Homo-oligomer: A and B are copies of this chain.
Amino acid sequence: MAGFREECGVVGVVGDKEAANLIYLSLYALQHRGQEAAGIVTLNKEGSFSGHKAFGLVGDGFNKDILDKLEGKVGIGHNRYSTAGGKMVQNIQPFSFNTAIGSLAIAHNGNLTNASQLRKDLEKSGSIFQSTSDTEIFMHLLARSNEESILERIIEVMKVVKGAYSLLLLTKDRLFALRDPFGFRPLVLGRRGEAVVVVSETCALDLIDAEFEREIAPGEVVEIHNDGSVKSYFPVESSRKAFCSFEPIYFARPDSQIFNEEIYELRKKMGAILARESHVDADVVIAVPDSGVPMALGYGNQTGLPMELGLVRNHYVGRTFIEPSQSIRDFGVKLKLNPVMSCLKDKRVIVVDDSLVRGTTSVKILRMIRQAGAREIHMRLGSPPITHSCYFGVDTPERSQLLAAQRDVEEMRDFIGADSLGFLSIEGLKEALGAANSHNYCYGCFNGDYPEDTGREIEPQPTDDRGPGLRSGI
């Protein structure tokens, strides 16, 4: 379900003479983590950086000529998410900058929770900010540090910043890969022959024929030398882990392994448990493609109901289209999805999607299914109701726009026009994640219980106390 947006994908390559090509392909594989812009910086033989940044998809903004100019065996790349707000070229990462101890380039996935205070302090003492991004705070802190070595500077900075960061830092002779102590965002390490590769998700390793080696641990700093040797440091203590549970639910690609899990299998489990928790009698199960497909398969298997291709996802979505002035009903959704009448007509339909954020899209999808002749529509979501915002690297709507923060399940059911509505419970979600691991996850947006002070005062809201969980609306 659209509404929650991942904020980035990152890639680093050390020791391959086609570093730029590999980064570019990895960014393509991680395109789902950010579509607004992409950038690559490589380290040339002479020790200087080459870079290119472009708005739009990586396949549109880069070409052979550009990649050929990005020489060097070491480099980093970044995909940026798409926001409604103004596009500024200064916000495209990687950022590169000079410090007294040399040139650095940085690519960051995450969000700092103490960013605004840090920024205010830095500006007061004369630092000039070029972008509106949290990432620049890392840069200024690194530049202002009085430590001698870059590693010591990194450690100093990690002690000051709070929040989520899976971050790559390129220097003249090394690549550093950092992950915050909670480990909100994924970051994995792979090998491709002699070369070392660091990426957000394993699907990028697959595309470039690299082998998955291991996750970078929460709180870990990995130092990768140009010769391929790797050192590991744990400079900050990590009281608990807090993997983002929305990564397995929605963000990550189903063919990725992150947080040491197979995403596809987790999603099927969520679908199966969802069925167990909330099944009603029906004729057919359909998914809202593509994100709903694995959960719908799990749901179908669990119930024995046939899964059908009730909604076809257009292959050419992703572009904006002009709507006629005599408005077409549910235009935005129709551009993406079209119902297959024979699966729906006169049927009792279970519609499975991953999550419900604003609910506006679901309204349209359900209306479309209803118009195609469905007799009953039972909406099932493979995740709990979203009642709170995220402060750890996810672009979330205002709380006032989160459907579940404003309404109870019955009201939501009514709003989206379903005959019944069911969510996976938090317990169900934890069951899917596994007893051994579920305490290592963050569920902040489902229950307001953030692993760390978010630096923002959370205003009490009447709907707050309702909390998450399944409230079938039948």
Contact = CB atoms under 8 A, between A and B. Distances in A.
A307 interface: yes
Contacts of A308: 297
A309 B321 contact: no
Given A25-B321, A63-B322, A335-B207, A341 B127 contact: no
Most buried by B among A140, A301, A342: A342
A85 interface: no
Interface in A282-312: 290, 293-294, 297, 301, 306-309, 312
A325 interface: yes
A325 to B, nearest CB: 6
Interface stretch (A96-104, A346-354, A445-453): A96-104
Nearest to A100: B124
Interface in A115-130: 123-130
A140 B342 CA distance: 44
Interface stretch (A159-167, A326-334, A403-411, A416-424): A326-334
A143 interface: yes
A254 interface: yes
Interface in A47-104: 57, 59-60, 63-64, 67, 89, 97-100
Nearest to A257: B341
B325 A265 contact: no
Contacts of A319: 57, 59-60
A347 B31 CA distance: 30
Given A262-B341, A315-B318, A97 B309 contact: no
A297 B290 contact: no
Contacts of A318: 315-316
B57 A316 contact: yes
Nearest to A62: B322
A343 interface: yes
A144 B123 contact: no
Most buried by B among A31, A64, A98, A293: A98
A297 B309 contact: yes
A178 B308 CA distance: 36
A64 to B, nearest CB: 5
Contact of A340 (B208, B255, B315): B255
A438 to B, nearest CB: 19
A279 B329 CA distance: 44
A21 interface: yes
A127 B126 contact: yes
A156 interface: no
Nearest to A328: B209
A316 B35 CA distance: 10
B334 A206 contact: yes
Nearest to A319: B59
A426 B315 CA distance: 30
A293 B316 contact: no
A126 B98 contact: no
A315 B34 CA distance: 13
Most buried by B among A255, A293, A315, A320: A255
A168 interface: no
Interface string A1-45: 000000000000000001001101100110110000000000000
B209 A22 contact: no
Given A60-B319, A63-B322, A99-B128, 20 more contacts: A18-B324, A18-B325, A21-B323, A21-B324, A59-B316, A97-B130, A98-B123, A99-B126, A100-B123, A125-B144, A126-B140, A128-B128, A203-B338, A253-B312, A254-B312, A255-B312, A255-B339, A262-B341, A297-B308, A301-B306
18 contacts: A18-B324, A24-B321, A29-B314, A59-B321, A64-B322, A67-B322, A99-B128, A126-B144, A127-B128, A127-B143, A130-B130, A206-B334, A206-B338, A254-B340, A262-B341, A264-B343, A297-B307, A297-B308
